[in-house]
């Protein structure tokens, strides 16, 4: 009997220790292989909501109520660019290779301004009579001002000197624009317009509200409030559904911003559910909610339960905008993205 005692004790120990096991999302050594040191930097960027971030690949400019600019990651901090005299703060921002375009506001209204990327002063941009600037859209190398018409409808303006409508009489606010190479596409809630005059609605999908648009170079990808991702070509011919409706607990997930790395790799923001990564989008799409956690800190919780309104290209990675929860930078060269907070979070 006694000879069985040590064996029984060992088995009991194994049982006790096994019962106290707890698993994380990855194995321990597998997690250590991909974990990267998170560098804390003081970005000098206040506020946790970035309305829009635009980049020319090297410089980045954002609007979070004020205009901030930074050069490259991670060496420099964001530097505030003061508004012109008489204005309180910014509504929106856009940029191309040479200039920054903004809409500033004060108690009496808004004003459209531009300055050289390396410049030191703002120049007012004159809009055609009857229009008030409300936003800025960047489509490739072209920047447009969004304006409210006297009759309450919306227009997208561009030109040299006095800005005139390229797209007029839009029924809802134009949220973004892209240059597909075949033309400029302007996205509103329910319609996508091609850059022709008079405006030409090139795509509507019944019972779908658009939120995000991104161009991979050859294809266009769209997100909807109903949880669908569509793929089409640069002429917006017959969109096809990628995968199926995205749901959590049988409830559709409202989708927001989208960023197409290429035709097969997409990042898709959601309302309050973090973001999804789509792989093999053009063939056999795999849509996975991002669970590539760092295992290390609170970045996980705050990113993966956030609303993600959009993405922008950054050196070696992506910027991610999470309204109310900060601006983030993720290095996408690693197998697992580890998001680094660039602004304070709630």
CA distance 47 to 183: 36
- Does 21 interact with other proteins (rule: CB under 8 A)? yes
| Contact predicate 131/125, CB 8 Å | no
- Minimum separation from the CB atom of position 34 to other proteins (A): 9
- Does 30 interact with other proteins (rule: CB under 8 A)? yes
According to CB under 8 A, which residues from 260 to 299 bind other proteins? 294-297
Q: Which residues pair with 269 in a beta bridge?
A: 275
- Minimum separation from the CB atom of position 14 to other proteins (A): 6
Q: Which has the closest alpha carbon to 332: 322, 320, 346?
A: 320
| Contact predicate 220/203, CB 8 Å | no
The single residue among 36, 116, 159, 288 that binds other proteins, judged by CB under 8 A, is 36
Instruction: Please give the backbone phi and psi of residue 245, each rounded to the nearest 5 degrees, phi first.
Output: -60, 135
- Minimum separation from the CB atom of position 239 to other proteins (A): 34
Q: By CB under 8 A, how many residues form the interface with other proteins? A: 27
- CA angle, corner 188, sides to 182 and 189, nearest 5? 135
- Does 219 interact with other proteins (rule: CB under 8 A)? no
Q: Which is nearer to other proteins, 295 or 313 (CB)?
A: 295
Q: Which is nearer to other proteins, 14 or 241 (CB)?
A: 14
- Does 11 interact with other proteins (rule: CB under 8 A)? no
- Does 23 interact with other proteins (rule: CB under 8 A)? yes
Which pair of structure tokens corresponds to residue 108? 């009496």
- Minimum separation from the CB atom of position 339 to other proteins (A): 13
Instruction: Report the chain's terminal Cα–Cα distance, integer Å.
Output: 62
The 8 Å CB, 24+ separation contacts for 187-193 are 187/212, 187/213, 187/222, 188/154, 192/222, 192/236, 193/167
- Does 333 interact with other proteins (rule: CB under 8 A)? no
Q: Which is nearer to other proteins, 12 or 88 (CB)?
A: 12
The single residue among 1, 3, 8, 22 that binds other proteins, judged by CB under 8 A, is 22
Q: Where on the chain is the footprint of other proteins (CB under 8 A)?
A: 10, 13-14, 17-18, 20-33, 35-38, 294-297
């Amino acid at each position: 009997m006694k000879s069985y005692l040590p064996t029984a004790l060992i088995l009991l120990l194994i049982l006790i220790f096994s019962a106290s096991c707890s698993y994380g999302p990855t194995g321990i050594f597998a997690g250590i292989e991909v974990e990267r040191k998170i560098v804390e930097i003081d970005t000098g960027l206040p506020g946790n909501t970035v309305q829009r971030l635009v980049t020319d690949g090297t410089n980045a400019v954002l609007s979070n109520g004020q205009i901030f600019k930074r050069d490259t990651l991670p060496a420099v901090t964001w530097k505030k660019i003061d508004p012109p005299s008489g204005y309180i703060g910014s509504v929106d921002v856009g940029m191309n290779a040479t200039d920054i375009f903004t809409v500033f506001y004060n108690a009496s209204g808004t004003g459209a301004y531009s300055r050289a990327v390396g410049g030191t002063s703002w120049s007012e941009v004159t809009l055609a009579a009857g229009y008030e600037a409300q936003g800025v859209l960047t489509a490739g190398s072209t920047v447009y001002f969004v304006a409210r018409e006297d009759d309450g409808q919306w227009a997208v303006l561009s030109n040299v000197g006095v800005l005139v409508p390229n797209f007029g009489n839009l029924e809802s606010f134009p949220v973004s624009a892209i240059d597909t190479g075949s033309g400029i596409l302007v996205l509103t809630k329910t319609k996508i317009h091609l850059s022709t005059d008079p405006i030409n609605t090139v795509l509507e999908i019944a019972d779908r509200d658009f939120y995000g648009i991104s161009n991979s170079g050859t294809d266009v990808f769209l997100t909807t409030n109903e949880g669908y991702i569509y793929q089409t070509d640069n002429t917006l011919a017959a969109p096809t559904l990628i995968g199926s409706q995205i749901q959590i607990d049988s409830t559709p997930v409202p989708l927001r911003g989208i960023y197409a790395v290429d035709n097969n790799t997409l990042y898709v923001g959601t309302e309050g559910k973090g973001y999804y990564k789509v792989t093999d989008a053009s063939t056999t799409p795999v849509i996975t909610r991002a669970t590539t956690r760092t295992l290390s800190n609170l970045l996980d919780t705050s990113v993966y339960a956030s609303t993600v309104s959009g993405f922008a290209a950054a050196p070696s990675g992506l910027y991610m905008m999470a309204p109310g929860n900060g601006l983030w930078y993720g290095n996408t060269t690693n197998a697992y993205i580890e998001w680094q907070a660039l602004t304070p979070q709630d």
